[in-house]
Structure 1
Amino acid sequence: MASGSHLGVGFGLESCTSDVQTAQAFELDGRRVMLIDTPGFDDTSKSDTDILKLIASFLQTTYEKGMKLAGVIYMHRIMDVRVGGISKRNFSMFRELCGDSTLRNVAIVTTFWSEVTPQLGEAREAELRGKDIFFKPVLDKSARMLRHSNTIDSAHDILRQLIGNRPMALRIQRELVDQHLDISETAAGATLSRELLEQAKKHREEIKALQVEMQEAIRMKDEETRKELEEESRKLQKEMHKMQTESQQLASEYRSEKIEMERRMKEMQEKAREEAEQQRQAQIARMRELDEQMQNSAKQSAQEKRKMQDQMDALQRQYDALAADNSDSDWCVVA
């Protein structure tokens, strides 16, 4: 909505953003702004390990190219009746990626206010603000909590809270690039590995309990129950093996993900340069056309000529802005 881009927006149960997406750049209060959309750690089609590799490789690649984020936005639906375990884990991973020192550049944005009464929404907002198990710890460290009312003005007002920030490197960017840590050694990677191992341990205990029940079913000659328990045990073993494998392969698979991200970033930059060049050529052609009209039409009134000159001046400003797009000082990047 803020950028006028046509990125996917999810409203159903399945995740919509399964890859890192960049919105088309736009101007806000004299700043060139680029928005970056990333999938969350509650994705329905990718594992948390896949999401971490995807986000980390993007952040590392952009940081190596000298790009820092002026702001990071975490979206939360105010219509949600409760903040479940998945949402808490999602936000926990978000914090590990950012680190406490960059929380001043973080905005927690609540959405779907039209789906609740003002009284209910404000009560939930107060609970989210005031409880340590929700957003209070990050708000105490200078993060901001803002509302989005699903309008362009609201979206721009939120961005205005961020575009004046001093761009800062996130914790995972400093860990991977400045400290040369392995992905599994980063705070986010270590947290994810620990969670995977804890889940695998829980599955192992569940399998042991199922085996006891299977022995009882065999003793009672209950073949139907035995088969059901055996199938459930196989599912848990498969899931446990998957978690153990993901934890072990996080570092090795990240390297290939990083190479792929660098390739995609190069393609994105080339495409952006081509589109910018096309816009510049179109503006040059339009300026020439207006100039010819002014030179060839002696009958034009002074008012009409002033109008054409204003159009040419506006096109010149747009051209100059496009030419300056590679300057870091002109850009504000928000993820």
Structure 2
Amino acid sequence: MTQPVSHDILVVIIGVTGAGKTTFANLASGGNLLVGHGLDPCTQDPQAVQFMLDGHNITLIDTPGFDDDGRNDLEIFEGIGRWLVKQGFAKNQPLDGVIILHPITHSSIGNMEKKRTRLLEKILGQDAYKRVVITTTMWTAFRQGAFQNTWTTRQDQIWRNFMSNGAVLIKHDNTRDSAHGIIRSIILKSEAGRARTLLQTELTSKKRFTETTVGEDLKRCFEEEIEHIEEKLLKHRLKRPPDAWRKSTNFAEKWEWWEWESAYQDLEKSLELLQMQLKTMNRVISRLLGFWARIFR
């Protein structure tokens, strides 16, 4: 790929799979980025599209969706940062803003979503929250009144910290004018000066990345999740069917044993994966911090 030219405004779009990231980028730019990023989600890479808006050369970075492949959020954030650095964006143009697309069709707030938001908070720090635009999508799928009260509660659950420190919440109505309005809000913030991330501040004063806020928080998250899985394993062991049911001629007994054993193996695999990720966390976080400290300055 050719090296990117100098850009006026550089924006990263993130969100869960199905939030409408690629559609938003194509709508705003008039481009034709590939929706879905290919058949194999594990090989997804960000995509860049450029266009002019109000005399500014805008570059939107469309990123792989969360919750859609075998990578955890930490690895996805690292991959986005690595791609930005590799393509030269970090060198030629610092990041001006982040658009978080969130579909209101997600009717509940899962632990992964809360942890993902907390991870982004730790990467950016409060001084950079004002560069975040939280953009809700999929409003046309439902009557607004039916979701307004539930949505107000949900947005308070997830983004209270962001919004109380400068981030804005904007509803996207799936029109080009709406997309351009969201981008204009970032242009206005960018004109007020650059934002320094918490990562950059901490890395200049601390020698070890594990001492940073995001490093400590991630380690704590892994340890809490491991403890949670271990508790589930303990409870599951107490429900173990009789060993004789493993080879029982009674279909119901044999099926119950199979279901129990399958669930047990899944829990063991989850625990093993988390323990491995905790051991390799220092290496992953080191790369993550290095990339994201260079793209927001």
TM over 0.5: yes
Q: Which residue of 2 aligns with 1:222?
A: 245
CA 1:234–1:116 in structure 2 vs 1: closer, same or farther (change >3 Å)? closer
Root-mean-square deviation (Å):
3.5
Q: Does 1:162 align with 2:186?
A: yes
Offset, 1:162: 0.9
- 1:41-89 Cα deviation digits (max 9, x unpaired): 4343422332132134356776862632222111111233333333322
CA gap 1:8/1:83 in 2 versus in 1, 3 angstroms: farther
252, 270, 292: which one pairs with 1:239? 270
Hey, what's the Cα distance between the residues in 1 that align with 2:64 and 2:215?
17
Match 1:144 to one of 168, 178, 188:
168
- 1:10-45 CA-to-partner distances (Å, cap 9, x unmatched) read 59xx9799333222x221111111112233543434
Paired position in structure 2 for 1:193: 219
- Secondary structure of 2:93's aligned partner: coil
Q: Flag the structure with larger Rg.
A: 1
Q: Using the alignment, how far apart are the partners of 1:134 and 1:157 within structure 2?
A: 23
How far did residue 169 of structure 1 move? 3.3
> Pairwise mapping of residues 309-320 of structure 1 onto structure 2 (< 5 A)?
none
Partner of residue 108, structure 1: 134
CA distance in 2, matches of 1:200, 1:249: 15
Deviation at residue 111 of structure 1 after TM alignment: 0.9
Residues 278-320 of structure 1: CA deviation (Å, up to 9, x unaligned): xxxxxxxxxxxxxxxxxxxxxxxxxxxxxxxxxxxxxxxxxxx
Kept in 2: contact 1:69–1:168 (CA 8 A): no
Distance 1:182 1:255, change over 3 A: same
Distance 2:216 2:28 in 1: 35
Aligned residue runs from structure 1 range 28-43, under 5 A: 28-43=53-68
Percent of residue pairs identical: 27
Distance verdict in 2 for CA 1:53–1:250, change over 3 Å: farther
The answer to whether residue 232 in structure 2 is matched with residue 206 in structure 1 is: yes
Letter of the structure 1 residue corresponding to residue 29 of structure 2: S
Taking structure 2 as the reference length, what is the TM-score of the superposition? 0.70
Cα offset, 1:182, TM superposition = 5.1
Counterpart residue type for residue 245 of structure 2: D
Match of 1:308 in 2: none
Do the aligned partners of 2:73 and 2:116 also contact (CA within 8 Å) in 1? no
Matches within 5 A, 1:38-187: 38-58=63-83, 65=91, 67-128=93-154, 131=156, 133-165=157-189, 166-175=193-202, 178-179=204-205, 184-187=210-213
**Contact 1:41–1:93 (Cα < 8 Å) also in 2:** no
Residue 258 of structure 1 and its aligned partner are, at CA, apart by 9.4
Aligned length: 253
CA distance in 2, matches of 1:49, 1:104: 22
Quick one: structure 1 residues 43 and 186, their matched pair in 2 at CA, closer, same or farther if it must change by over 3 Å? farther
Structure 1 gap segments, 5+ residues each? 262-332
Contact 2:133 2:167 in 1 (8 A): yes
Distance 1:125 1:47, change over 3 A: closer
Within-5 A mapping of 1:276-287: none
Answer yes or no: is the 8 Å Cα contact 2:133–2:170 preserved in 1.
yes
TM-superposed deviation, 1:143: 1.2
8 Å contact kept, 2:103–2:136: yes
